[in-house]
Every structure is written in C-alpha cells, then in structure tokens.
Amino acid sequence: MRVVILGSGRGSNAEAILAAQQAGLLGGARVAGIFSDVADAPILKLGPQFDVPSAYVDPAPYRTKLEGEGEARFIAAVSGAVPDLVVLAGFMRVLKAGFLSAFAGRIINLHPSLLPSFPGLDAIGQAWRRGVRVTGCTVHYVTPDVDGGPIVEQAVVRVEAGESLDSLESRVHAAEHALLPAVIARLSSARPQG
C-alpha cells in the first residue's frame, strides 16, 4: 500500500509513521511521498532523513483551503506518487471537492480530540478549557464535512486532575504518534492483495 503524507508543520506524526516503517511496523504500507503547502516546513526535512521523496507544492491562491490552481497542483503532485492512501498529518487546509473526488475513499485525517467532540482548530485547548475528564485523538476518513467523516479508530487519553494544557497536549500527541501508524498498518493488512 503506497502512502502519501500531507503536512504543514513540524511533522511529528509523519516522523512517527516513518519511524514505524523503518522498524517494520507498518505492515505492507510504504510511504511514497511527503508534500507540504509551506515552503520551509520542517516536515519536508523528513524526506531526506528517511529516503522518501518530499516536496513543497504551491497552494496559492487561497490561504486556508485547497481550491483552484493550488488544488490542481496538489492533485498532480499526489497523483504522481500513485497513492493507495493519503494521510493528512497536520495539514492545515480545508480540502475541496476536486481533491476529495480525485482520491475518494483514500484520504484519512488525524484529529486531536474524540470526534465528534471538539472539531476544528485548537481541539486540545477546547477540551481542556471545557474541563472534560476524557479526551484523545481520532483517525477518520475525510469528507466535505470538516472533521465529520466516518471514524476509523480512536485513542482515549484521561485528563488528570489539575493537569496543565501543555501536559495534556504532550500526552495527546503521544497517543497520536501511536494511533496513526497502527491505523495505517491495519488498513494495509485489510487491503486485498494482488
């Protein structure tokens, strides 16, 4: 199973996927490419580290969504890597109909809450401020409904009494780093061979 990772930032979840691949824990999945909408994003440095092609793709003209010319460039770049699965790992743009239809049923996203609770930005902060006792992270299929696609898997993180936001963020990220590679491995093993 060929996997393409899209990310906008430091790439800690991409690094967890690549480290799992290096350790032989991704099953039949292999990362075929990493693409970012941010020219100097640290995620792009993971490519040379793990011997995986990585590239910046110009997302213009929009700042928060992938549409128009930027969308066409992303579709071309991702299609060139022939993906069976597209993984959004900290990709900070809303995907629109063109990209979603080009890779229909093959895009998953990692979100730092137990969806459907706390969709959107700053999910960990939302949960912490609300005072929930349990939060976590979710891997779900991507649909036009932001953070609303079918749930693949979730990991629970209990919120400790008096816990700081920094501590909770750190523990949710640790759960993400375990969950996402495990989901990719499971999707790979469930995939028909041949």
- What is the per-residue pLDDT for 117? 97
Write the pLDDT tens digit of every residue in 124-183: 999 999 999 999 999 999 999 989 999 999 999 999 999 999 999 999 999 999 999 999
Active-site annotation holds for 140: no
Catalytic residue among 111, 140, 173, 177: 111
CA distance 7 to 162: 32
- What is the per-residue pLDDT for 112? 97
Nearest by Cα to 157 from 178, 142, 141, 181 = 178
- What is the per-residue pLDDT for 191? 72
pTM of the model: 0.95
- What is the per-residue pLDDT for 95? 96
Name the residue range of residue 72's domain.
2-190
Write the pLDDT tens digit of every residue in 11-45: 999 999 999 999 999 999 999 999 999 999 999 99
CA distance 48 to 44: 8
Q: Mind giving me the DSSP string for 69-131?
A: HHHHHHHHHHHHT--SEEEESS--SEE-HHHHHHTTT-EEEEESS-TTSS-SS-HHHHHHHHT
* DSSP annotation of 159: P
- What is the per-residue pLDDT for 193? 57
Domain total of the chain: 1
Write the pLDDT tens digit of every residue in 90-103: 999 999 999 999 99
CATH number at residue 54: 3.40.50.170
Write the pLDDT tens digit of every residue in 59-70: 999 999 999 999
CA distance 145 to 179: 22
Strand partners, 56: 36
Tell me: pLDDT of 194 over 60: no
Write the pLDDT tens digit of every residue in 1-17: 999 999 999 999 999 99
Nearest by Cα to 160 from 150, 170, 151 = 170
Cβ atoms within 10 Å, residue 3: 26
